[in-house]
Each structure stands twice: as structure tokens, then as C-alpha cells.
Amino acid sequence: MRGPDRESLKQSLQRRRRLILEASRRTSADIDALRGAERDPEVEEASQSEQEQSKLAEVGEVEHREIAQIDAALARIDAGTYGVCRECGEEIEAKRLEAVPYAATCADCADRKERLAVATRLTRS
């Protein structure tokens, strides 16, 4: 990948990372507001904070996964391996990178993995 593209790519990944963090902070604030309205003074402090933590973990999981993928993509840009499929070593399609800038595999490998996951689920059940 050429130099200038690399910088703008990093910037757009970092921007996306920030947006996810902001969105997840807003969601936490919403949950807090909701909980404040529902707060029952009879409920024990301990059980309340337990509930709080499990809800926040739920909200954060998707965001954390996406942020981890973005971080991995940023690391690949620095390492010079960005845009190369982790599975087969072929270049990832430009179209795919446009849609999923932190994609670590090409469309073929992603499809294969998805089919494999489905097959695994089917044989397990």
C-alpha cells in the first residue's frame, strides 16, 4: 500500500474507533438514566451493582470486539501487512476493504470460515 493512503486509512480507522467509544459511553449513560428512574430504594446495594455490571458488559461486548479489530488493523498498517488476507496471503479486495476497513481476511476466506462455522454448528446440534 502506498504512503498517503496509509495515513488517511489510519485516520479513518481511528475516527471510527472514537465514534464507537463515544456511542458506547452514550449507551452507558442511557442505561444509568434508565436505572435512575427505576431505582428502588428497597433493593440492596450489592445486587444492584451486580446487575449493572452484567448489563454494561453486554452493551460493551460488540463494541469491544470491533475496537479490537480496528486496533489489529492499525497494527497491520504499521507492520505493512494491511490488506493482505490472514488466511491465504492473497490481497483483500479493495471493495471489501471499503466496506469493512478492518477486515483481516479476503471475502473467499471469510465465506469459507462462515460456512465452516455453520457446518460446525449443524454437526454439533
Output b/e per residue, 97-114; b: 16+ Cβ within 10 A. beeebbbbbbeebbeeee
Contact pattern from residue 104 through residue 123 relative to Zn ion, giving x for each residue in contact according to CB under 5 A and a dash for the rest: --x--x--------------
Restricted to residues 42-81, the positions that interact with Zn ion (CB under 5 A) are: none
Nearer residue to Zn ion within complex by CB, 24 or 105: 105
User: Does 9 engage in binding with Zn ion (CB under 5 A)?
Assistant: no
User: Does 87 engage in binding with Zn ion (CB under 5 A)?
Assistant: yes
- HSE-up (13 A, CA, CB side) for residue 15: 7
User: Does 88 engage in binding with Zn ion (CB under 5 A)?
Assistant: yes
Q: Which residues bind Zn ion (CB under 5 A)?
A: 85, 87-88, 106, 109
